[in-house]
Amino acid sequence: MRTELEAALQQAFVEAEASLGRREPADALIWLERAHILSQRMPLRHARSHWLMLQAGWALRDWREVAGQLPRILAALLFSLIWVPLGNSGRARISAFRPMPLSDEMRRLLGQR
C-alpha cells in the first residue's frame, strides 16, 4: 500500500478511536467516513470502519445506524475486492450502492484521476 494512503488511513482510525474514547461519537463518525472511503478496497480495514461506525451509532443511540452497519460489516468482508461504490461514506442513511463525489485530496490518495 502506498505510504501516504496508509498514513492517512491510520490517522483516520486513530482519531476516530480517540473520539470514541472521549465519548464524542459524532466526531468519530466524521473520521470513520474518511477511513471508510480510504479502506473500501481492503476487506479487513473496510469491515473495521463499519464496526467502529456501529459502535458510534450505539453510543449515539442511533438504532438505524447500528442496524445498518451490521450487514455492511459482512458485505465489506465479502465484496470489497469485487466492487465498491467509490466515495461512499459508509453511513446507514446512505445507500450502500451509491457512489459519491471525492475531494481532490481523496482522489489523490486513492490514485484516482
CB of 39 within 8 A of CB of 4? Answer: no
Evaluate if residue 87 carries a pLDDT over 70: yes
Evaluate if residue 1 carries a pLDDT over 60: no
Name the residue among 26, 107, 99, 35 with its Cα closest to residue 65.
26
Kindly report the average pLDDT of the chain as a whole number: 95
Give the residue-averaged pLDDT of 50-65.
Answer: 98
* Confidence label for 112 from pLDDT (cuts 50, 70 and 90): confident
Give the residue-averaged pLDDT of 61-77.
Answer: 97
Stated pTM of the model: 0.94
What is the domain count for the chain?
1
23 HSE (CA, 13 A, CB side): 1
Instruction: Give the angle 45-10-103 at the CA atoms, nearest 5°.
Output: 90
Evaluate if residue 37 carries a pLDDT over 90: yes
Place of cell 489523490: 108
Domain that holds residue 64: 3-110
